[in-house]
Amino acid sequence: MRKLTISKVVVNMAVGTSGEKLAKAATVLEALTGQKPSIRKAKKTIKEFGIRKGENIACMVTLRGEPALAFLRRALEAVGNSIKEAAFDGNGNFSFGVKEHISIPGVKYDPTLGIFGFDVCIAVERPGYRVSRRRRKKSKIGKNHRVTKRESINFIQEVFGVKLV
C-alpha cells in the first residue's frame, strides 16, 4: 500500500482564442496523445487579451494507465529529462511545460498546423486514494498515507531517471 504510482497525466494546450487556431491545437494534441481532446472555456472576461467569458480557449486530455506512462516518458525526453524542484507541490504532484510540440521525439513539423506548446501535470498517489473520490462511504486520506514532495521526487528519479535542476 506504500508503493507510489502515476494516477493520471493531464496535458493542457491553452491557445487563448477560439476558431481555427484552437482546432489546429486540438488536432496536434490528438496526434500526440492518441485521445480526443476536451475543449475548455474561459472562466471570465479579460479585455486586455480579448477573451470573453464562455469562449473556447483551450483543449486538454487526461491520460491514465499505460498510455499516460508512455506519453510522460516522451514528454520528459522533450525537456531533457530534467525538472525544477519548484515544479513539485506539497502533495507530490508536479508539472512542467514543453515550449514546442515538435521537440517530442518522433513528431514531425507540419506547416499547415504550426507549432504549439503545452503543459503536462502529473498526479502521484498510493493505492487507497480512491476512498476520497468514491461516491459511497467517502473518507479522508490519513496524514501518514499522503505523498510528500520528497517521496515524489525520489519516485520520479528512480522510475524515469529525471534529474533535478
- At 7-53, the pLDDT tens digits run 999 999 999 888 899 999 999 999 999 999 999 999 999 999 889 99
**What would the grid cell of residue 40 be?**
475548455
What's residue 114's pLDDT?
Answer: 92
Q: Write down the pTM of the prediction.
A: 0.91
Distance separating alpha carbons of residues 131 and 140, to the nearest angstrom: 7
The distance from CA 110 to its chain's CA centroid, rounded to whole angstroms, is: 23
Q: For residue 38, which phi and psi values (nearest 5 degrees)?
A: -100, 135
Q: Which domains does the chain have, with CATH numbers?
A: 5-164 (3.30.1440.10)
Secondary structure class of 92 (helix, strand, coil): coil
What's residue 5's pLDDT?
Answer: 96
What's residue 16's pLDDT?
Answer: 87
What's residue 92's pLDDT?
Answer: 92
Confidence of residue 161 (pLDDT cuts 50, 70, 90): very high
Distance separating alpha carbons of residues 121 and 62, to the nearest angstrom: 9
What's residue 120's pLDDT?
Answer: 97
- At 102-155, the pLDDT tens digits run 999 989 999 999 999 999 999 999 999 999 999 999 999 999 999 999 999 999
Say if residue 165's pLDDT is above 90: no
Secondary structure class of 93 (helix, strand, coil): coil
What's residue 50's pLDDT?
Answer: 87
Largest CA distance in the chain: 52
